[in-house]
Structures are given as C-alpha cells and as structure tokens.
Amino acid sequence: MAKFKSLRFGHRGVRGKACENTLAAFRLAKKEGFDGIEFDVQLSRDGKLFVFHDRKLERFGGGNNYACDLGMNDLKRIDVGKALGFKEGFIPTLDDVLEDWKNGKIPKHLLLEIKRKGYFGGKLEDALAEKLIDFNLKNPRLKLFDYLIVESFNILAVMKIGRMLHGVKVGLLISSESFFEKVAGIIGFRLIDVDYVFLPKDLVSEKYLKKFAGCDVGVYSLTSKSDYEKVRKLNLAILIADDMAYAGGR
C-alpha cells in the first residue's frame, strides 16, 4: 500500500500558474514537484464524469446555471482558462485525467473530490465507482487504488464510495468545528469509517487534532508561505496547496 505521510498535493493543480482543474495545471504540478493533485469531479447531464470545481457557471460567464446540467459537448466548449485570465483552458473529463496519469504526465497520487448538485442521490458515485473499477481492471499493474483517495464534504457520498470501492481510501472534508460536531452528534463520527479528515487551514491545531485520533489528517488550502509556517510542525499527512512554495517546497 502506498504511503501517504507528508504528501504535498497541488490544489486543483497549480492554480496560480495555470488554469485550475485542467490538464495543464496537473502537468505543471508534476514539473514543480508535487506528490499529487487534488481535483473535483462532477457528473454531466449525459452521464459523463468531468473535472470542474464550481457548481454553477457564474465565474465562467454561464450565469446561474449548474455545470452538471450541461452535456459534455457543451462543457467542452467553455474556455475556462480565458475566463480566469489564462491564454486558454478547457474542462477535462475524468478519462482525460486517468489517461495522463497512466502515461506518467501528472503526479502519482490522486485526491478526487466528489461534487454533487444535491446532498442526496448517488448517481455520481455509481458512475465513478464503475469508471475506476473498469480502469483498475484494465490496468492492474498500475495499482490505481494504492494512489487514490476519494473525498467529499458530503458524508453520504463518502460512506457510499467507501462501500463500493474496496481498497480505496476515503476522506471527509470538514468546513468548520460546528460541522464536525453536527456530524458527531447525529451520525457518530466513528461510524463514518473514514481514513482521512481534511481540515481548513484556520482550524488546524494540536488541540483540535486530538479529536481525530485514528485518522490521518490533511489541511486545505495553503495559499501563502505564512500558511505553511503555521502547520509545518503538526506532522500532517497531507498538505493541499496552491503552489509548491506554500507547501514547504521551492
């Protein structure tokens, strides 16, 4: 099993130097020395898994429309790079990312966040599990499941994908202390059976980490060198950063 201690993940690739969640940003993450990439996956109207962070298209000139309500052909036409001030950048499919991973063009470790339109449902998890299992069966020597973590803020998604993908580590994203307390009170944190907990940078401390004994803890998202200085002595499993300089690198 792959070791995940102290791994550094590029947040949506290297989003300050290339368009976030694009192959260019993921390939740059490898060049800059990141161990892995963090990226977001949604399900299109026609059942395709695509890589995109925002639920709605407002940042990209699409108004109040949900990205997942479009078909893949329409999503492919959106120049997300131009909207964010880069020369160009287009929305990749999960197949595109897996192909680059297979060919060694992007970092080895993958941190995949499930982005659902609604809290309930499960079609995305079904499609994701089918895709990953199929890829793993076709490429057994690559041992994809050793290098993959699937995460989400959605507890139900985390629990479901954990049951469907045996051997894949799962992580719960925490947004605030009150969120954790609500989870612990209603469901019982230990019943979630997660491998990783990902905390926002303003919540990470020695005192708070004691609540997560038994889980590896990661932090998101480091956006400055001072962010790194605040967390570097905490022996966290994973650092998610916008730039290698914010994760203790060059």
Strand-strand pairing, 109-114 and 36-43: parallel
b/e code 174-204 from CB counts within 10 Å (16+ = b): beeeebbeebeeeeebeebebbbbbbebeeb
Placement of tokens 């790194």 in the chain? 228
Structure tokens at 96: 């595109």
Percent composition of the chain: helix, strand, coil (DSSP 3-state, to 5): 40, 20, 40
d(CA 239, CA 106): 17
Beta strands in 71-159 (DSSP E): 109-114, 148-152
Active site residues: 11, 53
Backbone angles phi, psi at 214, to 5 degrees: 100, -15
Kindly provide the b/e burial profile for residues 73-97, where b requires at least 16 CB atoms within 10 angstroms of the residue's own CB: eebeebbbbeeeebeebbbbbbebb
